[in-house]
Amino acid sequence: MPARNDWVTIAAVAALSYALASVVHEGLGHGGACLIVGGIPRELSSMDFDCDPHGLGAAAEKMVAAGGTIANLMFGLGALALYRRTPATSSPLGRFSVWLFAAVNLMQGTGYFLFSGVGGIGDWAVVIDGLEPSWLWRGVLALSGAALYFVTTLYLFNALGPFIGAARPERYRRALGLATVSYIAGGALSLLAGFRNPAGLALVAISGAAASLGGTSGLAWGPQMLRGAPTALVDSPANDLPVIARSWPVIAIAGAASVVFILILGHGVHFH
């Protein structure tokens, strides 16, 4: 029997990936843009960043709003490039961690266009505010976001090939296991942190649930694109595939980071 991936370790990697992606979006993205335009940082939480532009104008507000998505896309593309350049002989745990971090960032980044276009809320609703006709700009956001999200998800799961092999239906089952555990663990962490936010359930629904459950929903449905006609198992022997083994150090780090993420960033850090 081939060795099995350790789902506890995968869940730990997912918790770290989701927490780091949130810090990238809120802290480095919105927070960095706030400092660049000369704004005053007010508060950082797992779901939002409060920046006071103190009269800098609409352009500054738009830059701060766009910063989160731009940061996610930059870090996601960087992680994906690193994953593609990592030798196949490297640590399976390390390589999968890089893939998942890339997936979370890229899905949340491209998904935000779709979210703001359809709902008319969120960061990119601020970016296109005042542009006319508004229905056209929202349509462009929604359609381009949907296309980018689909292409990104398809590419990411094809890139997961070294972990799932080429034989069908086994590759679908392996991808489903890796992605589903990651989606549930990361989404649960994001929601638990969101419930600590004093802004209430409205922010959890708009930001927390939308970014974690909606933004990374490609992890839930993406494996379906790997279905197809059955192929011979000799195309990709299961014993030759890398296995993500139990890692207590990663589990411990993820546990500590999750506590900090929920208790501190969940409630928010005030700067002024």
The answer to whether residue 121 sits within a structural domain is: yes
Q: Which residue positions in the chain have pLDDT lower than 70?
A: 1-2, 200-208, 229, 232-239, 272
Q: What is the pLDDT of residues 61-91, one digit of tens each?
A: 999 999 999 999 999 999 999 999 998 888 9
* 3-state SS, one letter per residue, for the chain: CCCCCCHHHHHHHHHHHHHHHHHHHHHHHHHHHHHHCCCEEEEECCCCEEEECCCCCHHHHHHHHHHHHHHHHHHHHHHHHHHHHCCCCCCHHHHHHHHHHHHHHHHHHHHHHHHHHHHCCCHHHHHCCCCCCHHHHHHHHHHHHHHHHHHHHHHHHHHCHHHHCCCCCHHHHHHHHHHHHHHHHHHHHHHHHHCCCCCCHHHHHHHHHHHHHHCCCHHHHHHHHHCCCCCCHHHCCHHHCCCCCCCHHHHHHHHHHHHHHHHHHCCCEECC
pTM as predicted: 0.93
Amino acid 228: pLDDT: 76
The answer to whether residue 2 sits within a structural domain is: no
The answer to whether residue 19 sits within a structural domain is: yes
How many domains is the chain built from? 1
Give the domain extent around 162.
Answer: 7-270
The answer to whether residue 218 sits within a structural domain is: yes
The answer to whether residue 14 sits within a structural domain is: yes
The answer to whether residue 46 sits within a structural domain is: yes
The answer to whether residue 178 sits within a structural domain is: yes
